[in-house]
């Protein structure tokens, strides 16, 4: 695990890379449903990322296949459009990539490339309606202020993501200027970022400055080649099938169900006979969380945990269960969640070459000691 480092507007976070900046949120921050802005993880693709934005000059451009191109100042977004708020989990496609076997190249995240915030901003649909989409529009493309040092026209120069105009997620999508009731930190996309509830963070373009309506599907590298998953059930494949050229891919989209034990974290021994509060979070891009179950015997028996307050189907849901370990010894605590579309986490490996979609049942070894 990397060292803890400080960057502007951030508490000490786990360093993955310094340029471009990639920082992971330490585990204990996930005890609460909302992740503080200063602890929220950071992931940029291109190294020339913003250090300052002049709102006198900055505009959100809405262009392409539209009848009325728009250039919107931040003030216009705040005052001329209705504000909407959504609690939503932002999770990197490669969260937990370091768990895959065989290991795959890429950002070697533990479980902390995720966070949940209350996002406030303007519904994307309202902005698109104001721009008057022309017939023949098929996708909408998003780009931020970040640029790379690679040659123009190459994947290492610009980062762009697109969504289908027929995708129902567009009705939930926000152009957010507020995160947990505060302006976005520069490293999380000041002044506005896209919020695509239920979808992996690759679509949540930071320092969003261009919205382009396209009349044909986006074939830029970040859609056509990167961030794609095997078109199989669960998005898994094998190195052999990949080598044999058998793997068809589709763009990554919704986040499968996950759950985590946050406390206790296994760092200290627990005395037998005393109650322990097992606490954590769960989430899913498929209709929120309906059940969290805990096993203290490595999956042999399961007990249902108490769910915390419901902040909406795209949010973290906290859970808690009291446990009194009766005998000293080594315990394997396992957690599994079920979502609104009845998917339950499985105890199976996930593997694909991008290192995406990891959602295997999490386990924590806890040592219980004698009390006399």
Partner 1 sequence: MTSLKGFALITAICAFFASAALYAQFNAGFYTLQGPGSIRQTMPSAATASASYHVAAYTLYPAMLAADDGEQEVASYCNTCHSTRYITMQPPLPADTWTAEVNKMVKTYGASIPDDATQKIIHYLQSHYTPENRKK
Report the candidate in 257, 105, 223 with the shortest Cα–Cα distance to residue 155.
223
Q: At its nearest, how many Å lie between partner 1 and the CB of residue 120?
A: 18
Instruction: State CA 260 to chain mean position distance.
Output: 15
Beta bridge partners of 263: 279
Query: Which 8-state DSSP code applies to residue 48?
Result: B
- The region of 40-48, 62-70, 285-293, 323-331 touching partner 1 under the rule CB under 8 A is 40-48
Contact pick of 26, 32, 36, 47 for partner 1 (by CB under 8 A): 47
Nearer to partner 1, 71 or 322 (CB): 71
- At closest approach, how far in Å is the CB of 36 from partner 1? 13
Closer to partner 1 by CB, 157 or 263: give it. 157
Ordered DSSP codes for 105-139: SS----S-SEEEEEEEEEEHHHHHHHH-BPTT--E
Q: Which residues, listed in sequence order, are joined to residue 195 by a DSSP beta bridge?
A: 174
Report yes or no: 319 and 281 within 8 Å, Cβ to Cβ.
yes
Using CB under 8 A as the criterion, what x/- string covers residues 222-241 for binding partner 1?
---x----------------
Measured over the CA atoms of residue 144, residue 146, residue 151 and residue 156, the dihedral's sign is negative
Q: Which residue lies nearer to partner 1 by CB, 150 or 301?
A: 150
Binding residues among 236-275 for partner 1 as defined by CB under 8 A: none
Which contiguous run of DSSP H or E holds residue 221? helix 221-224
312 binds partner 1 (CB under 8 A): no
Q: Is 95 in the site for partner 1 (CB under 8 A)?
A: no
Q: Does 309 help bind partner 1 (rule: CB under 8 A)?
A: no
Residue 132 neighbours by CB under 8 Å, 6+ apart: 66, 67, 68
Which of 17, 76, 236, 238 is the binder for partner 1 (CB under 8 A)?
17
Which residues, 104 to 163, sit near partner 1 by CB under 8 A? 105, 107-108, 145-151, 153-157
Judged by CB under 8 A, the chain residues 180 through 199 that form the site for partner 1 are 186-187, 190-191
Q: Binding partner 1 by CB under 8 A: which of 98, 180, 238, 263?
A: 98
Structure tokens at 250: 């589709």
- The nearer residue to partner 1, 18 or 347, going by C-beta atoms, is 18
What distances in angstroms separate CA 371 from CA 13, 329, 333, 367, one per listed residue? Answer: 36, 12, 20, 13
Q: Is the dihedral of CA 23, 27, 28, 29 positive or negative?
A: positive
Comparison of 85 and 157: residue with beta carbon closer to partner 1 = 157
Please report, as ranges, the residues that interact with partner 1 according to CB under 8 A.
2-3, 5-9, 11-12, 15-21, 46-59, 98, 103, 105, 107-108, 145-151, 153-157, 186-187, 190-191, 207, 209, 221, 225
């Amino acid at each position: 695990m990397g060292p803890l480092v400080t960057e502007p507007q951030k508490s000490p976070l786990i360093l993955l890379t310094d340029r471009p900046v990639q920082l992971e949120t330490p585990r204990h921050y996930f005890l609460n449903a909302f992740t503080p802005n200063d602890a929220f993880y950071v992931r940029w693709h291109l190294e020339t990322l913003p250090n300052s934005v002049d709102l006198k000059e900055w505009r959100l451009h809405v262009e392409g296949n539209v009848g009325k191109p728009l250039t919107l100042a931040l003030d216009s977004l705040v005052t001329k459009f209705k504000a909407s708020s959504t609690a939503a989990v932002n999770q990197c496609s490669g969260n937990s990539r370091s768990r895959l076997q065989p290991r795959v190249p890429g950002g070697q995240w533990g479980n902390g490339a995720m966070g949940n915030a209350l996002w406030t901003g303007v519904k994307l649909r309202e902005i698109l309606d104001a721009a008057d989409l022309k017939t023949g529009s098929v996708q909408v493309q998003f780009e931020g202020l970040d640029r790379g040092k690679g040659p123009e026209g190459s994947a290492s120069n610009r980062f762009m993501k697109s969504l289908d105009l027929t995708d129902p997620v567009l009705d939930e999508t926000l152009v957010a200027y507020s995160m947990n009731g505060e302006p976005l930190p520069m490293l999380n996309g000041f002044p506005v970022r896209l919020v695509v509830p239920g979808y992996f963070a690759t679509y949540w373009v930071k320092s969003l400055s261009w919205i382009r309506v396209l009349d044909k599907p986006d074939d830029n590298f970040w859609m056509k080649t990167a961030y794609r998953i095997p078109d199989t059930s669960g998005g898994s494949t094998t190195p052999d099938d990949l080598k044999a050229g058998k793997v068809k891919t589709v763009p990554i989209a919704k986040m499968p169900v996950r759950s985590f034990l946050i406390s206790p974290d296994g760092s200290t021994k627990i005395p037998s006979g005393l109650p322990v509060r097992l606490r954590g979070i769960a989430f899913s891009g498929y209709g929120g969380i309906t059940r969290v179950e805990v096993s203290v015997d490595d999956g042999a028996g399961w007990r249902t945990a108490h769910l915390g307050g419901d902040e909406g189907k795209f949010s973290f849901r906290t859970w808690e269960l009291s446990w009194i370990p009766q005998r000293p010894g080594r315990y394997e605590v396992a957690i599994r969640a079920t979502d609104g579309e009845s998917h339950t986490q499985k105890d199976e490996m996930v593997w694909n070459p991008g290192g995406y979609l990891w959602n295997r049942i999490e386990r924590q070894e806890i040592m219980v000691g004698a009390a006399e």
